[in-house]
A = this chain, B = another copy of it.
């Protein structure tokens, strides 16, 4: 495994986490254990096509499990390691909350 590729993989892993829709999907899964696509659509109030695109991203980056059940596809958080990463990040963001939101980039988005 080349070092450049490892960095690329890391970049894509964090990219998968850097989207509000995908974050809300992950936190819905964290609350509910496992959900099929249409349930995720309801929980996040988003279109099916959009959710499917995002699930593909989450699947590829190893953030969720897929399990087929008849015509349903059931997703869940991949494993305990992912849960831990989400929890620790949660803790950090809550501590740094104001600083992060006062970031120029964030502020510009609001105007």
Interface residues of A (CB under 8 A from B): 1, 5-15, 17-20, 23-24, 56-57, 60-62, 81-82, 84-85, 88-97, 99-106
Residues of B within 8 A of A19 (CB): 11
| CB pair A103 B7 closer than 8 Å | no
| CB pair B91 A61 closer than 8 Å | no
Known: A8-B106, A88-B81, A93-B10. A60 touches B23 (CB 8 A): no
Residues of B within 8 A of A95 (CB): 62
- Residue of B6, B10, B23, B92 near A7 (CB, 8 A) is B23
- The 6 closest A-B CB pairs, nearest first, are A62-B96, A14-B18, A60-B103, A14-B17, A15-B18, A9-B100
